[in-house]
Amino acid sequence: MKIGPSRIAHPITLAPMEEHTNYPFRLLMKQFGASLVCTERIDAADVACRDRRALRLLHTTTQESPRAGQISGADPAVMARAARVVEEHGFDVVDLNFECPIRRLVNRGEGGALLGNPPAVASIVAAVVNAVSIPVTLKIRSGPDAEHETASEVARLAEEAGAAAVDVHARSVAQAYVGGPDWSVVTRVKQAVRVPVLGSGGIREPGDAIRFLKETGADGVAIGRGCLGNPWIFQQARSLVQGGAIVRAPTSAERGRVLLQLVEGEFRLYGPGPAQRRLARTSCYFAKFVPEFSVFREAVHKVRDLTGFRRLVKEHFG
């Protein structure tokens, strides 16, 4: 698949996830075989005014190429300014978020709220396409709710406005993250546009990714919650999609080593204080595979530094 000039090596990609898909996490998923990675959603207004936190979320290097930077907002001029900042940081793609179900955003008419107004999405896409030279993609859902499926119309208008690919989360905004995804909406979007279509929703096992590609006809699949604590899913799904052998599950010691790599990356990126406050969130997804998970979870809250964390990992992961 190609998104603008960027060649995406295979269809197994990483879905953007707020509070998770930071630079160290993306590097790790890339190392395990994700073909395309994406930042979490960042407010365009913050990016446009170069807010410090927003710029830190835009930290990237060519090591994770090809990669997308994702912004959200409703004002075409602000989105265009923010997209220029994303391009300046070196991202290969700028991704526009029209999918976020968070009430604060939806009440401001941003994120998923825009799926109720396809022409407004097209105006934003057109303004951003005009402002940058990298490809512009969009992340959408099926529509505002089960009764209003706007995904195909949004995708068609966005394509006319110059979008280079569409990524569909196969749930409605009203559904948020609850309930099964309906993959058939991805097939309908695929039939509505010529640009590449990717999709996500409910990929928990490597085999789900293959089934998703087969059933929907999509060009790519994005793995969300299924990779939290389990980057091996990329290796396994990639091998399946390329007709390779089944990749064996990692040993406990391997899980511990990879968790440490991620946490050390977060200490480097955020500094000890903020990285430590993230420790429980980052490590519990990996630790759910250890026999004494509840003991680990209690102990991780008491860890005071990286040395203490290394000791804890050694104790529980071997």
Ligand X SMILES: Cc1cc2nc3c(=O)[nH]c(=O)nc-3n(C[C@H](O)[C@H](O)[C@H](O)COP(=O)(O)O)c2cc1C
Rule CB under 6 A: which residues touch ligand X?
A: 15-18, 40-41, 70, 97, 99, 139, 169, 177, 200-203, 224-226
Of 38 and 260, CB closest to ligand X? 38
CB of 215 to ligand X, least distance (A): 15
Of 177 and 293, CB closest to ligand X? 177
Question: What's the chain's length in residues?
Answer: 318
CB of 40 to ligand X, least distance (A): 4
* Structure token pair of residue 184: 């058939």
Of 99 and 266, CB closest to ligand X? 99
CA proximity to 56, closest of 259, 224, 268, 210: 268
Task: With beta carbons less than 8 A apart as the criterion, state whether 156 and 193 touch.
Answer: yes
Q: Which residue is nearest to ligand X (CB)?
A: 224
Clarify whether 100 is annotated catalytic. Answer: yes
Task: With beta carbons less than 8 A apart as the criterion, state whether 40 and 18 touch.
Answer: yes
Q: How far apart are CA 225 and CA 229, in angstroms?
A: 9
Task: With beta carbons less than 8 A apart as the criterion, state whether 260 and 310 touch.
Answer: yes
CB of 65 to ligand X, least distance (A): 20
CA proximity to 153, closest of 163, 143, 145: 143
- Report helix angle 279-287 to 293-300, nearest 10: 170
Of 225 and 278, CB closest to ligand X? 225
* Structure token pair of residue 24: 């160290």
Q: Which of 49, 100, 227, 284 is catalytic?
A: 100
CB of 185 to ligand X, least distance (A): 12
Catalytic site residues? Answer: 100
